[in-house]
Amino acid sequence: MKRIIIAIDGHSACGKSTLAKGLAKSLHYAYLDTGAMYRAVTLYFLDHHIDYNDPAAVEAALQHIEIHFERIEGQNRTFLDGRDVERDIREMRVSEHVSPVSAISAVRRAMVQQQKTMGQRRGIVADGRDIGTVVFPDAELKIFLVADLDVRTSRRHLELAAKGIDAEWEDVKKNLLERDRIDSTRADSPLRQADDAVVIDNTLLSEEQQLEKALALAKERIG
Ligand code: DC
């Protein structure tokens, strides 16, 4: 059967990873969480006290950063330099710095190169901000996900609580707004809807309903 690339883009916490994981599971495809890669770079900079406004320090650090994914007990785990950082990268301290870090061109170049390599065999669902426009412009299916801001805030707040991460609802909302602003206005590969993307607004959809819609689109493309 034909193996395709599915690219999912959208604002922070609009349900991209839930949809991507659901699609990957249903189609037996790999899932590529590109946001986790930018989060892992951010965690590295914070833990190593690297001033990310210093281009030389950023270039030097990028030489040492090794990111990979492993599936452990059915869960996707992000590894940074051999350490499982899946929980650490979701913390608010990382969320607060990840947008400026991911606006740095040297960081993007390094991550996009790895992402393109991971997609070479196709049969992949990737989510992020520039997947349909920059990373996989030839993806057979591009989805641009949209959801109401308060709904996104509540979903992210619940998700953090489930992981045992305590955060104020208002702080979560402010962080989403600020990331949306930086991610959409940066000079290098800003978040934007690809011309050939299909928009799905999931504000009033359940996880099952959005998966059903996306699966129907994927099956059309697979043929
Ligand atoms: O998907 P996420 O919220 O975990 O992503 C974290 C940040 O990483 C997001 O605010 C912007 C950045 N990002 C990016 O610039 N490009 C991507 N393809 C994915 C994420």
Question: What are the tens digits of pLDDT across the range 73-99?
Answer: 989 999 999 999 999 999 999 999 999
Rg (CA), the chain: 17
Statement: residue 163 has pLDDT above 90:
no
Q: What is the DSSP string of 81-140?
A: TTEE-TTGGGSHHHHHHHHHHHT-HHHHHHHHHHHHHHTTT--EEEEESSIIIII-TT-S
Ligand 1 centroid distance, CA of 107 (Å):
12
Using a 6 Å cutoff on CB, does residue 183 contact ligand 1? Answer: yes
Mean pLDDT computed over 44-60? 98
What pLDDT is attached to residue 1? 84
- Taking only the tens place, the pLDDT of each residue in 5-41 is 999 999 999 999 999 999 999 999 999 999 999 999 9
Q: Which atom of ligand 1 is nearest to the CA of 16?
A: 1
End-to-end CA distance of the chain: 9
Q: Each residue of 129-155: pLDDT tens digit?
A: 999 999 999 999 999 999 999 999 999
Class of domain 5-215: alpha beta
* Domain definitions of the chain by residue range: 5-215
Looking at residue 38, its pLDDT comes to: 98
How many angstroms is it from 58 CA to the middle of ligand 1? 18
- The amino acid occupying position 55 is P
- State the average pLDDT for the chain: 96
**Is the shortest distance between the CB of 35 and ligand 1 below 6 Å?**
yes
